[in-house]
């Protein structure tokens, strides 16, 4: 049995680490997953994972590629429907890992959907999201469960969530181009300084209220400045965007990437300004799924 699926990465509006409530938007960078199953019978099945296009540049900058997450996703889906199979799961991704662009959420969603495709079953979208979140918690690649990131990846558009309750508070379609600044260094969510993140919680609550009021750009910028200060990232990257008239720019997740919501007439100037800082710049857009 063979299954194939993809899921998107995402950018941060409000990081949920400080207050367990967050907001994120889906971006047009994808992770695909292929699942091959065989010998479906009694006993405990064994799933092996492979990440096909592990980027040399990411490895050189300290990133590691652990297949535990995608293997766990396959196992949870099979358990849900009573299958016991040997098999393999392979992912390929356009999303740089350990940069705050929700590569883990995209990989989890893609692996869950590909396994469902392989066995010819379906799940409601939110149950599929929660299955990937459980796998991410089991694999230790997230602090809050990244429910906001997983919802953005699966549903598209902008999502606002309560991660502690695993509740989708709001889902909004939104049109915007996106620029991503990608420094060389990587930053793993599991290594983030939780105590310093909690210290800015009162102001993160303000950012969350702005998101609820659909003032996404100001929510995003406040969030970014707060988490840059808490986690030790350079606010200068965000300031270059603000100086050019961009109103929504943030550290994405726990870094190291920054994302900005931009108009067409802002893209060239911001791209040049960020290129001058070193690192790479990626142009993409918000993806609204049906």
Assess whether pLDDT exceeds 90 at residue 54: no
pLDDT at 66: 78
Q: What is the mean pLDDT of residues 43-50?
A: 80
Q: What is the mean pLDDT of residues 242-262?
A: 95
Calpha distance 3→13 (Å, rounded): 32
Q: Answer yes or no: are the C-beta atoms of 215 and 221 closer than 8 Å.
A: no
Task: Tell which wins on pLDDT, 233 or 43.
Answer: 233
Calpha distance 29→153 (Å, rounded): 10
Assess whether pLDDT exceeds 70 at residue 290: no
Residue-averaged pLDDT of the chain: 91
Assess whether pLDDT exceeds 90 at residue 277: yes
Q: Name residue, tokens 């099945």.
A: 45
Assess whether pLDDT exceeds 60 at residue 193: yes
Which of 95-99, 109-113, 181-185 tops mean pLDDT? 109-113
Q: What is the mean pLDDT of residues 179-194?
A: 74
pLDDT at 188: 59
In order of their start, the domains of the chain are 2-172 (3.30.230.10), 177-285 (3.30.70.890)
Instruction: State what percent of residues in the chain have pLDDT above 90.
Output: 77
Instruction: Give which of 124, 119, 111, 48 is closest to 82, Cα–Cα.
Output: 119
DSSP 169: E
Confidence of residue 70 (pLDDT cuts 50, 70, 90): very high
pTM value surpassing 0.85: yes
pLDDT at 10: 97
Cα torsion for 221, 276, 267, 246, to the nearest 10°? 20
Q: Answer yes or no: are the C-beta atoms of 172 and 214 closer than 8 Å.
A: yes
Which 3-state string (H, E, C) describes 56-95? HHHHHCCCCCCCHHHHHHHHHHHHHCCCCCEEEEEEEECC
How many Cα atoms are found within 13 Å in the side-chain-facing hemisphere of 258?
Answer: 33
pLDDT at 160: 98
Backbone angles phi, psi at 282, to 5 degrees: -115, 135
Calpha distance 248→262 (Å, rounded): 8
Assess whether pLDDT exceeds 80 at residue 171: yes
Q: Answer yes or no: are the C-beta atoms of 23 and 216 closer than 8 Å.
A: yes
Assess whether pLDDT exceeds 70 at residue 198: yes
Calpha distance 119→288 (Å, rounded): 27
Which of 78-92, 98-112, 209-223 tops mean pLDDT? 209-223
How many Cα atoms are found within 13 Å in the side-chain-facing hemisphere of 32?
Answer: 7
C-alpha angle with apex 117: 114 to 121, nearest 5 degrees?
Answer: 125
pLDDT at 43: 53
Instruction: Give which of 160, 153, 159, 162 is closest to 132, Cα–Cα.
Output: 153
pLDDT at 104: 92
Assess whether pLDDT exceeds 90 at residue 42: no
Contacts of the segment 223-226: beta carbons below 8 A, 24+ positions apart: 223/12, 223/13, 223/14, 223/15, 223/250, 223/251, 224/12, 224/249, 224/250, 224/251, 224/258, 226/200
pLDDT at 46: 87
Bridge partners for 24 per DSSP:
12, 159
Calpha distance 163→154 (Å, rounded): 15
pLDDT at 186: 63
Q: What is the mean pLDDT of residues 268-275?
A: 97
């Amino acid at each position: 049995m063979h299954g194939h699926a993809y899921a998107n990465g995402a950018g941060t509006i409000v990081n949920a680490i400080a207050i367990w409530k967050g907001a994120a938007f889906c971006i047009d960078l994808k992770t695909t997953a292929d699942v091959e199953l065989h010998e479906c019978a009694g006993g405990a099945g064994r799933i092996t994972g492979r990440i096909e296009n592990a980027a040399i540049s990411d490895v050189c900058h300290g990133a590691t590629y652990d297949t535990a997450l995608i293997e766990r996703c396959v196992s949870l889906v099979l358990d849900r429907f009573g299958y016991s199979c040997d098999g393999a799961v392979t992912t390929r991704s356009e999303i740089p890992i350990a940069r705050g662009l929700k590569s883990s959420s995209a990989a989890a969603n893609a692996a869950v959907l590909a396994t469902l495709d392989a066995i010819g079953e379906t799940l409601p979208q939110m149950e599929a999201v929660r299955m990937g979140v459980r796998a991410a918690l089991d694999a230790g690649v997230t602090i809050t469960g990244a429910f906001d990131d997983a919802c953005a990846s699966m549903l598209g558009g902008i999502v606002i969530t309560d991660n502690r309750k695993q509740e989708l508070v709001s889902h909004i379609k939104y049109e915007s181009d996106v620029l991503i600044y990608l420094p060389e260094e990587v930053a793993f969510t599991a290594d983030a300084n939780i105590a310093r993140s909690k210290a800015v919680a009162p102001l993160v609550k303000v950012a969350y209220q702005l998101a609820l009021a659909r003032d996404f750009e100001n929510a995003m910028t406040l969030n970014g400045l707060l988490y840059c200060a808490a986690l030790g990232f350079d606010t200068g990257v965000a300031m270059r965007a603000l100086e050019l008239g961009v109103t929504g720019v943030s550290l994405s997740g726990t870094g190291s990437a920054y994302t900005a919501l931009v108009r067409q007439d802002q893209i060239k100037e911001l791209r040049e300004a960020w290129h001058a800082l070193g690192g790479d710049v990626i142009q993409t857009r918000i993806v609204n799924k049906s």
